[in-house]
Amino acid sequence: MTDWCMVIDLEKCVACQGCSIACRFENNTPAVSPQESKNGRAIRWNDVFPLPLHIAPDQGEYPNVKTHYITRPCMHCKNAPCVKVCPVQATFTDEEGIVHQNYNRCIGCRFCTVACPYGVRYFNWFEPKWEETLAEYRNPDQLSVNGSLEGPAVRPTGVVEKCTYCVHRLVKAREQAKVEGRDFRPDEYVPACVQTCTGKARFFGDLDDPDSTVSQLSKSLRAIHLLEDSGAHPKTLYLAEG
């Protein structure tokens, strides 16, 4: 069975934030007002930030310092805590290992945002707003699963949203293959962040296929999971710097 997985090489990541913004334009998460942004309510499903967040006193003094940066999509955990706490099954893992978020079912209780060890679930405090003509560039793709909206569809206020590995792109690629009367190949689909990555640091594919790039990279000695001890069995892999 296909097991979609992303691998991010932190050595090649140059913290340009291209992933973050590609995601924004693919998945319809508009910029928020300056004040909301200052309050930390800007929604970018894949954020890029320095690590650690604040200078610790033991981090060394000039010139013996080194800043690290990390980019953080959803980990699409195999034992996802968010899925377990959702009282209404608005978030669920599909057969191919993608953790979905269904906006019609979500009741906005935010259990999942608290349960997620990675902080990648974003609550929609305000209605997504595009000022005047900015609304023109919205991605028109509307994905619905079992009759309710997911993915890039514009969200109502009060639901939780998150990275979906651009699952609508997967659905579109499968449909395209069907239209052309051929089998779908796993390399026909990558999420927007992977496609745009300026450092070619991101890889995407089927972890279940031992020949895929992600499978090969997952065997690297540099391969790590974030918060391995969280018990969530995160799937998105990082290749550590060094």
Rounded Cα distance between 212 and 67, Å, is 32
18/73 with CB nearer another protein? 18
Chosen residue from 69, 104, 115, 216 binding another protein by CB under 8 A: 69
Build a one-symbol-per-residue string for 211-240: x at contacts with another protein by CB under 8 A, - elsewhere: ------------------------------
Stretch of 37-45, 113-121, 155-163, 180-188 lying at the interface with another protein (CB under 8 A): 37-45
* CA dist 114 → 81, 118, 209 (Å): 9, 9, 33
Stretch of 54-62, 106-114, 120-128, 178-186 lying at the interface with another protein (CB under 8 A): 54-62
Q: Which phi and psi (to 5°) does residue 6 adopt?
A: -115, 140
Chosen residue from 58, 61, 180, 229 binding another protein by CB under 8 A: 61
Strands 4-9 and 237-239, how do they pair? parallel
Residue 13, classified by CB atoms within 10 Å of its CB into exposed (0-12), middle (13-18) or buried (19+), is buried
Chosen residue from 52, 119, 127, 175 binding another protein by CB under 8 A: 175
119/210 with CB nearer another protein? 210
CA angle 117, 94, 167 (to 5 degrees): 85
SS3 at position 27: helix
CB of 20 to another protein, least distance (A): 6
Local structure of residue 154 (DSSP, 8 states): P
Chosen residue from 121, 162, 168, 235 binding another protein by CB under 8 A: 168
Chosen residue from 46, 73, 75, 100 binding another protein by CB under 8 A: 100
- CB count within 10 Å of CB 207 equals 19
Q: Is 44 in the site for another protein (CB under 8 A)?
A: yes
Stretch of 109-117, 120-128, 143-151, 180-188 lying at the interface with another protein (CB under 8 A): 143-151
Residue 15's Cβ-side half-sphere holds a number of Cα atoms within 13 Å equal to: 8
CB of 47 to another protein, least distance (A): 9
Rounded Cα distance between 218 and 9, Å, is 11
Q: Is 65 in the site for another protein (CB under 8 A)?
A: yes
Q: Is 179 in the site for another protein (CB under 8 A)?
A: no
Q: Is 49 in the site for another protein (CB under 8 A)?
A: yes
* CA dist 153 → 28, 63, 166, 176, 232 (Å): 7, 48, 12, 20, 28
- Number of residues this chain uses to bind another protein (CB under 8 A): 82
Stretch of 114-122, 131-139, 155-163, 181-189 lying at the interface with another protein (CB under 8 A): 131-139
